[in-house]
Each structure stands twice: as structure tokens, then as C-alpha cells.
Amino acid sequence: MDRVKYLLPEDRLPRHWYNIQADLKTPLAPIIHPGTKQPIGPEDLAPLFAMELIQQEVSQEREIEIPDPVRDVYRQWRPSPLHRARRLEKLLDTPARIYYKYEGVSPAGSHKPNTAVPQAFFNKQEGISRLATETGAGQWGSALAMAATVFGLELEVFMVRVSYDQKPYRRGLMEAFGASVTPSPSERTQAGRAILAEHPDSTGSLGIAISEAVEVAAGRDDTKYALGSVLNHVLMHQTVIGLEALEQFELADDYPDILIGCTGGGSNFAGFVFPFLGRRFRGEQDVRVIAVEPSACPTLTKGPFAYDFGDTAHMTPLMKMNTLGSTFVPPGFHAGGLRYHGMAPLVSHLLAEKAFDAVSYHQLETFEAGVLFAQAEGILPAPEANHAVAAAIDEARRCRESGESKAIAFNLCGHGHFDIQSYMDYHAGKLEAYEYPSEEVAMALSGLPSV
């Protein structure tokens, strides 16, 4: 039987997350306060995050235990399958062996619940009863809504108004899970009221929504803030993906030559590749790693590695990361999860250490690849995941030319069932390619804070 799927039994779900900080050659640059320019400590973060999460953020331990109540929820859809794309291989007439880890089987349809669940759990454990967060199109918000209802927490989501109005379905999913969803900017916060006073018709931005959620969390003892990417502990929670994949490659009696993930804030990429990179760093097994980003928001391939704000409104501390400038607004491509001006500090740090390669694709290339994949494999990828698909197909085509039989593995981080409009636009010839907006980036980078 030609295997098309490698499943792990429920009891082989990882018992620890992998913390790549233990295996870094050089330590991460500290997060610094924008006023004092001094490193900030755990106590500065305490108003916003549960103490356990703050400790995870700075931990140097290689393994951090996944608590049983978190594993109980993970087990509902995890371990997620590792698929062998045999029909795609045949269609491409390639000697490459193509694998994909499929995170679309989660109740929210993406990898986001991998961190939403532990974040909800650790807050609940510390007596917190409410969470506040922001969301753009709603992928993160719906994952956190699912996690919050499972642990009996209230959730307040600030959703960018243009998405609230134009993409109501993920909002409906959040509400069905019991979350309260407020269009941002709102009258609920000082930050929101200030924006509305100046721009009554503001359609909002992720930066504004972050400011509102942070303000709500900072102002109430019963409420903490939750973030869906970028931070070290978020990336670490996602390593359950790569840890499972390592075991699944053992089952397959194979090992990837090339690992591919798409990058927005960096969490699905990190979750998939960090456990493999750790093995390489420790001299156990080599692997080539490729990060794929949109040409229209090319943080890793065009952005400098510099201290910058995490948000547009400059409410956050400064992080050293690849950035296109915190005021950069990416053009309107459909992969909403990749529309972030910065990049996780850990991912940026590893790029600076040349731990992986970064490439960019424009929107039309990614949809062309996604439709080819869908018609071969029968699964419609999320627009974000299409970036990984495009790079994997290109690597497989290179194998056809060179005659090499490499094992190529990518993370299919979510399904496209909430993104059908983008495929309809592609089908109708209405999608733009969106090349690199160099002038807008130069303008935004001119405003980088001096450190």
C-alpha cells in the first residue's frame, strides 16, 4: 500500500513544547522600553500576560511541559496528519517526495488553536476570567474564541472594522463560540475614541485594534491580553506541529531534505521548522529550511533587522526584528495572515544567523500554485498556505530538472473555506499580482526609532 497519510496515535501527542532559545548560538536581543531604551523585565509585562506565559517568553529550558488539560483539548484534532502528496507528485512528474503537514483539521481550520488553547488555559489557571484580543480577518479571534469557551473564559475581540463589515463570517463563528466582538476603532476605549474623534469614518487597522485590546486588559484586574503570533511563547506553543512531524517522518522511514513554511508574524513557520532546526543545531541531522512571504510585504527578504514597534500606534515595547517600518500598510492582497510589517524576533534572529533562506512570491503565483494543489490533492488551501505550496512546487520542479529525489515538506497551515471570495476573484481574473511597494516601504523605514 502506498501510504498517503502518516497518523500518530493519540498517546504519542508530544508531552513538551520545544524552546529553540536553548539551542541558539547567540542570545536574543532584549525587548526594550521605547522611552528609557532599557531592557524590560517580566514585571513590566505582568499587567498584560499570565505569569506562566511571561516565564515561557524568557525561558532557556529546551523542553516545557504541555499540561494535561491542554493536551486533552489538543487531542480533539491532534496529532494532525502528515500527508504524502502522491497525486501532486504524479501531476508534476517529479522524482521528489512531497509531504505536507495539515493544520486545517483543527476546529478553527488553522494552526492558531495550538497557542490559543494553552494561552486560555494558563490564564484560567491564574484566576483570570476574561481575555481581550484583536483580530484582522478573524482567524486568530475565532481560534481564541474556541479556546476561551472550552475553558469557560469570557472573550472580548476587537475586530478591524473593515473586516467586521466586509468579512462577517469569522465574526459569526466567534459569536457562536460565545465571544463578544466589537468593531475597532470603538467607543469602548480611550484609544478608540481618540481615533474616532479625528477620523469618524476610520475603517480601522490591526495596530489600532491592538491598542484597544491592550487598553482593556491593562485597565481591568480580571482581564489579560492574548496575542496570536510574534512572541516567543506563541511560537513555542506551535512547535507541537514540528514535533509531531518528526515522529511522523520516523513512521514514514524518511526525513525532509527541504522544509517550507509561509511567514506573516512567523508562528506557523516557527512551529513547523524549529524542532528540525534544533536537531540541525545540535548536529543530529541536516535540513534546508525556506521561509516564504508575499512580494507585497517582504519583511524577511527586504526589511532591515532593527528595533521597531510591534504596532502602528506605538503602544508596544521595541523588538529587534526584520521590519518594513511600523507605519507600513501592505497593499490589499488576500493572505490577511501575512499582512504584518514585522516578524517574530526569534525568526528574525535565526535569519540573521543564516539558519534558513527566505523567498517571496507575488499573489498570482501563489493562487496558481494553490489551485494546482487543490485540483491534484482535493484540499483547498488558505491563501497564506498557498505561499508554501508555491515554493514546494518550485522545488519539486527543480528536482524534475535535476533528476534528484528530494523529500520536500511544507506546512499547510489552514484550509481555504473562509477565503472562497479570493479564489472567485482569481477565477474571474480580478486578482492583482502586487509587486514590492518599494517607495512605501522606504517611507515607513525612514521613521524607524533610534535606539
Contacts with a copy of itself by CB under 8 A lie at: 1-5, 7, 9-11, 72-73, 75-76, 83, 87, 105, 107, 109, 146-147, 149-150, 168-173, 175-178, 371, 374-380, 416-418, 420-421, 423-424, 427
**Residue closer to a copy of itself, measured from CB, 9 or 403:** 9
* Least CB distance to a copy of itself at residue 343 (A): 29
* Least CB distance to a copy of itself at residue 155 (A): 11
The rounded distance, in Å, linking the Cα atoms of 21 and 345 is 11
The rounded distance, in Å, linking the Cα atoms of 346 and 40 is 17
**Residue closer to a copy of itself, measured from CB, 38 or 421:** 421
**Residue closer to a copy of itself, measured from CB, 253 or 401:** 253
**Residue closer to a copy of itself, measured from CB, 75 or 199:** 75
**Residue closer to a copy of itself, measured from CB, 109 or 264:** 109
The rounded distance, in Å, linking the Cα atoms of 172 and 195 is 26
**Residue closer to a copy of itself, measured from CB, 37 or 417:** 417
* Least CB distance to a copy of itself at residue 427 (A): 5
**Residue closer to a copy of itself, measured from CB, 1 or 197:** 1
| DSSP β-bridge partners for residue 110 | 414
The rounded distance, in Å, linking the Cα atoms of 79 and 82 is 9
**Residue closer to a copy of itself, measured from CB, 35 or 378:** 378
Which residue type, as a one-letter code, is found at position 322?
N
* Least CB distance to a copy of itself at residue 418 (A): 7
Helix, strand and coil content of the chain, in percent to the nearest 5, comes to 45, 15, 40
- Specify whether the CB–CB gap between 296 and 366 falls below 8 A: no
* Least CB distance to a copy of itself at residue 113 (A): 8
Provide CB contacts within 8 A for 142, sequence distance 6+.
108, 112, 135, 170, 173, 174, 177
**Residue closer to a copy of itself, measured from CB, 190 or 375:** 375
The rounded distance, in Å, linking the Cα atoms of 407 and 256 is 5
The rounded distance, in Å, linking the Cα atoms of 331 and 380 is 24
End-to-end CA distance of the chain: 59
**97-102 and 407-412 strand pairing:** parallel
* Least CB distance to a copy of itself at residue 211 (A): 27
> 3-class SS at 102?
strand
* Least CB distance to a copy of itself at residue 156 (A): 16
* Least CB distance to a copy of itself at residue 85 (A): 10
Nearest to 344 by CA among 16, 5, 28, 25: 28
- Specify whether the CB–CB gap between 133 and 144 falls below 8 A: yes
* Least CB distance to a copy of itself at residue 170 (A): 8
